[in-house]
Amino acid sequence: MSFEAFAPFRVTVQDTDIFGVKGGAGPPLLLLHGHPQTHMIWHRVAATLANHFTVIATDLRGYGASGRPPSDARHMPYSKRAMAADQVAVMRHFGFEQFHVCAHDRGARVAHRLALDHADAVERMMLLDIAPTLAMYEKTDRAFATAYFHWFFLIQPAPLPETLIGAHTDAYIERVMGNRSAGLAPFAPAALDAYRAALAQPGAVHAMCEDYRASATIDLEHDRADLERGNKVACPLRVLWGEHGIVGRCFDPLDEWRRVARDVSGRALDCGHYIPEEAPVALIDELLAFFEARDPAA
């Protein structure tokens, strides 16, 4: 995989530790993965990006090789506020007070919270194939609930989803990732093996469920509070989504992000949900144009 020139690291943050890889030179760029994956989602773009940026790709708390701290009744340890603070601490560990962020799926929800809670830290932000969490819950319809069934299954009280998924973690990976527009074809075998191995670790399924339980509870409280205060993402925001995916079909991504951010641009790419693995060349072009402040495609 394309992390040969990257150095692994582990940084102690708050109540846990964060694993990641670091490589390249130039302006700092933080990469955040989604569900049910790890930093490996960036394997097709990381080497090229390292020619332009100091790239730091982490595993979110609860995922991959990062720590899985105990949760609580409010799911606060898996709130996007806690996850965002992790990432700020990692970047400060390496001496970066300000940085760019590119994030996919769950990582993009962390990035959204990071840009609200730590506005001075984020120079520019790119989010991949999501609409804001609050909008997605409030505008759920049958089509979205069917395609994103895991949103509503994982939030069920423990230990039901943990028990069922834990008995068949490989089947869960293949169903969730393979049920999108391109099936499992876009994924490198080594990457799939990494995702399977990560979810099979003790406590990984519970941590994943806690991430989703937090999004359906405490994260919505935080998001509503920001809306009431008029607190919006201030940094330039580029939003990309898959033309063949669910997000663009069920939501208007640009309209939704303009409700919660001040400076939004974006477009659909010719792919499905897993943009870094399905459309790496197009993503690299977008990343370089946006983070190097060239004029991106309309």
Question: CB of 205 within 8 A of CB of 156?
Answer: no
Tell me the C-alpha distance between 208 and 153, whole Å: 12
Catalytic residue positions, numbered: 105, 273
Per the DSSP assignment, residues forming a β-bridge with 237 are 125, 264
* Contacts of residue 277, Cβ cutoff 8 Å, sequence gap at least 6: 41, 43, 44, 186, 187, 188, 191
Give the chain's radius of gyration (CA, Å): 17
The pairs formed by 59-62 with CB atoms below 8 angstroms and a separation of 24 or more are 59/18, 59/19, 59/20, 59/33, 59/198, 60/32, 60/33, 60/86, 60/106, 60/107, 60/110, 60/211, 61/16, 61/18, 61/86, 61/207, 62/204, 62/207, 62/208, 62/210, 62/211
Q: Which residues of 22-56 are buried (b: 16+ CB within 10 A; e: fewer)?
A: bbbeebbbbbbbbbbbbbbbbbbbbbbbbebbbbb
